[in-house]
């Protein structure tokens, strides 16, 4: 066996394998002093590697989504004969995915859920601040299902329903695209429903200042009034530090407003500490208007942000909190 420091060619001037490879490459390409170009390429690789990693890491969530879809297809295939005889066909599948996502939240983010006692026994509309991804909401739904055996439906943007392969995932979890009538109907049936009024715009263009971007949206408030249910504010600490966006680039904001597709690049995927806090419910009032209820909800959500989030958000601080053993008080 030839050792790593032995020559790769026989002759009066022995060469190492790397030198030999460089020589052969130079002869083949006809480029003089190719070793200088290779050294520069290696330098660029080391410089750009961290940048590449922070843009690649968010892809892990995409892999997790499609793993969930694959598991649901397997679950459906194995249980298709029971479908005609069961009103709760997807219960087992939802428990399976809840275990998967909860494990991911625990391992990667040390995920914690606080304030579940504020969730009413009956129906309610959970209103949350939208991070760059909805991962924190999924962790919340998974933990709630595991701990309280309480399913929570969600309202998603229209583009989610056009993502390839997502139909089975959305159907299994009862995700809806948000017509008021459908939301009111679900709440009147006793469901718990989660919605982020800021939607994709807040996800892409809010920042480490945790600015609530709702615009003039008040449809969620009218849904709560029509269904006669309380609104429960929810916020996840450090959600902006886990994954961030390049939403500060003006041309990307203009492009989104024109085509309404989430084409803003994401970066991060850092294992920061995530803690979800459930605020006190805002009870139903028969004489309140949608505008007034929207203002009250926004104020309650802003209060949660101010209480539990250090502004501006800091990735390094959030990473350090991930490895602290002392739990934060509610």
Q: Which residues pair with 244 in a beta bridge?
A: 267
CA quadruple 131, 195, 158, 56: dihedral, nearest 10: 20
| Rounded CA separation 210/238 (Å) | 10
Q: Taking the chain, what is the end-to-end CA distance rounded to the nearest angstrom?
A: 64
User: What are the residue numbers of the active site?
Assistant: 130
| Rounded CA separation 208/270 (Å) | 15
| Rounded CA separation 291/221 (Å) | 8
Q: Are 301 and 235 in contact (CB under 8 A)?
A: yes
By C-alpha distance, which of 36, 57, 220 is closest to 127?
220
| Rounded CA separation 273/3 (Å) | 47
In order, the DSSP letters of 106-169 are HHHH--EEE-GGGS-SS-EEEEE---SSSHHHHHHHHHHHHHH----EEB--GGGGGSTT-HHH
SS3 277: strand
Sign of the alpha-carbon torsion through 91, 93, 94, 100: positive
């Amino acid at each position: 066996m030839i050792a790593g420091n032995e020559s790769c060619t026989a002759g009066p001037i022995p060469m190492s394998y790397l030198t030999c490879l460089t020589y052969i490459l130079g002869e083949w390409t006809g480029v003089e002093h190719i070793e200088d170009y290779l050294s520069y390429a290696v330098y660029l690789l080391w410089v750009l590697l961290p940048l590449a990693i922070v843009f690649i890491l968010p892809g892990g969530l995409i892999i997790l989504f499609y793993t969930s879809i694959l598991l649901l297809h397997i679950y459906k295939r194995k249980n298709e004969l029971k479908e005609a005889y069961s009103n709760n066909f997807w219960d087992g599948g939802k428990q399976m995915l809840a275990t998967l996502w909860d494990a991911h939240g625990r391992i990667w983010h040390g995920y914690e859920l606080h304030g579940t006692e504020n969730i009413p026994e009956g129906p309610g509309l959970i209103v949350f601040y939208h991070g760059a991804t909805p991962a924190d909401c999924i962790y919340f739904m998974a933990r709630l299902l595991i701990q309280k055996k309480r399913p929570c439906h969600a309202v998603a943007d229209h583009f989610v329903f056009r993502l390839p392969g997502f139909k089975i995932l959305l159907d299994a979890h009862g995700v809806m695209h948000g017509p008021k009538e459908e939301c009111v109907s679900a709440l009147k049936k006793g469901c718990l429903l989660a919605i982020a009024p800021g939607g994709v715009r807040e996800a892409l263009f809010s920042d480490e200042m945790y600015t609530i971007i709702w615009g003039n949206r008040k449809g969620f408030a009218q849904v709560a009034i029509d269904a006669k249910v309380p609104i429960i504010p929810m916020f996840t600490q450090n959600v902006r530090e886990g994954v961030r966006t390049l939403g500060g680039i003006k041309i990307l904001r203009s492009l989104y407003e024109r085509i309404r597709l989430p084409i803003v690049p994401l970066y991060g995927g850092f294992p920061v500490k995530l803690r979800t806090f459930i605020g006190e419910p805002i009870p139903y009032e028969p004489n309140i208007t949608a505008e007034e209820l929207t203002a009250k909800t926004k104020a309650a959500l802003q209060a949660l942000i101010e209480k539990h989030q250090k502004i501006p958000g800091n990735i390094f601080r959030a990473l350090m909190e991930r490895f602290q053993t002392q739990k934060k008080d509610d």
